[in-house]
């Protein structure tokens, strides 16, 4: 009698945040692997675009708010693996960093462990730290701790600033450069970033799934170049072939403007975001805990940005 073949790669994967910038790429990659994918979402209509990434019935959008243990357990379904990509760039009245970055991941990890989920991948950030100046980065650190408390073998991914088709930062800059003679440089101009391609981060998430050697580890994900925030703006302008004045808003002035914006509700710029911009986001881990340790060659910004911003060129 032939011994059945056992594949360590999970066949049923629940992806939280699957309709987001990174989530869409992860779902597409899982679909190519032949997985059955559940995508919990507050707005199922946002998941409709994902249906074309797989075969009929392969990707299931599940309406869910993840507010209770019962709802969360039902949402996870019979998953072999959970990939948590939930995150907020800025707080809102109904959703804050504590709820989305700490409490929700803790509930997911606890219930996933109780329900026999084999692999848990959690998205954090390179800026995470218990003493970070921004609430965003501190909440990410607390979220990591909570996840690993309930699911010790969880894999944590800490990417730097991500770029790729549909990213908000470079597309916002390119859109602004179409009509404005000035691009604002908010906060510290010389703060360092190590921009990482969204496809490389998605590949890292796929690589660690089902890999026993990856369980319980933290991977720091950055691209091949370390750049200042001013250089990022210059790269965007080069990609769209436009010359614009870069106007610096130092942290004090930027924080004052953010405070005014916050007073009007749902601001694009917040004081916490300004504090976050003052923190470097670069890889400091040993090589085995980076993209190269996962066998992934980091993609440069110049290799991707001109194509993704083609529609904004003169």
CATH number, domain containing residue 211: 3.40.50.720
pLDDT value at residue 51: 84
pLDDT value at residue 7: 55
Q: How far apart are CA 41 and CA 291, in angstroms?
A: 29
In a domain, 31, yes or no: yes
pTM of whole model > 0.85?
Answer: yes
In a domain, 127, yes or no: yes
pLDDT value at residue 255: 94
Q: How far apart are CA 79 and CA 180, in angstroms?
A: 48
pLDDT digits (tens, 9 = 90+) for 226-247: 999 999 999 999 999 999 999 9
> How many residues can be counted in the chain?
314
Asked if residue 115 has pLDDT above 90, the reply is yes
Mean pLDDT of 136-147: 98
In a domain, 180, yes or no: no
Phi first, then psi: give them for residue 73, nearest 5 degrees: -60, -45
Domain enclosing residue 36, as ranges: 12-161+197-222+283-292
Sequence-distant (≥ 6) Cβ neighbours of residue 290 within 8 angstroms: 219, 220, 221, 222, 283
In a domain, 133, yes or no: yes
Asked if residue 249 has pLDDT above 70, the reply is yes
In a domain, 250, yes or no: no
The residue that leads in pLDDT, 48 or 218, is 218
In a domain, 190, yes or no: no
Total number of domains in the chain = 1
Range in 44-48, 86-90, 94-98 the model is least confident about: 44-48
pLDDT digits (tens, 9 = 90+) for 66-89: 889 999 999 999 999 999 999 998
In a domain, 6, yes or no: no
Contact 179, 200 (CB under 8 A): no
Asked if residue 3 has pLDDT above 50, the reply is no
In a domain, 304, yes or no: no
Mean pLDDT of 293-311: 96
pLDDT value at residue 94: 67
Asked if residue 299 has pLDDT above 50, the reply is yes
């Amino acid at each position: 009698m032939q011994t059945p073949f056992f594949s360590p790669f999970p066949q049923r994967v629940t992806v939280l945040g699957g309709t987001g910038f990174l989530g869409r790429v992860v779902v597409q990659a899982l679909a190519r692997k032949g997985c059955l994918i559940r995508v919990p979402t507050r707005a199922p209509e946002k998941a409709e675009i994902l249906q074309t990434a797989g075969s009929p019935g392969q990707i299931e959008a599940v309406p869910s708010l993840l507010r209770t243990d019962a709802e969360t357990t039902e949402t996870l379904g019979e998953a072999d693996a959970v990939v948590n990509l939930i995150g907020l760039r800025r707080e809102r009245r109904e959703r804050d960093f504590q709820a989305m970055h700490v409490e929700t991941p803790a509930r997911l990890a606890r219930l996933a462990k109780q329900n026999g989920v084999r692999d848990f991948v959690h998205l954090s950030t390179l800026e995470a730290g218990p003493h970070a100046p921004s609430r965003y980065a501190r909440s990410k650190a607390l979220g990591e701790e909570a996840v690993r408390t309930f699911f010790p073998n969880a894999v944590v991914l800490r990417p730097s600033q991500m770029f790729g088709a549909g990213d908000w930062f470079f597309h916002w800059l390119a859109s602004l450069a179409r009509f404005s003679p000035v691009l604002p440089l908010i906060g510290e101009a010389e703060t360092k970033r190590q921009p990482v391609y969204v496809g490389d981060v998605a590949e890292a998430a796929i690589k660690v799934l089902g890999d026993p050697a990856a369980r319980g580890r933290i991977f720091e994900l950055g691209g091949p170049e370390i750049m200042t925030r001013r250089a990022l703006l210059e790269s965007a302008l080069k990609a769209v072939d436009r010359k614009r004045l870069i106007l610096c808003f130092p942290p004090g002035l930027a924080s004052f403007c953010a405070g005014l914006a916050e007073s009007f509700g749902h601001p694009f710029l917040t004081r916490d975001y300004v504090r976050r911009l003052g923190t470097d986001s670069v890889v400091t881990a040993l090589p085995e805990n980076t993209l190269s340790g996962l066998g992934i060659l980091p993609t440069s910004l110049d290799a991707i940005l001109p194509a993704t911003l083609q529609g904004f060129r003169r």
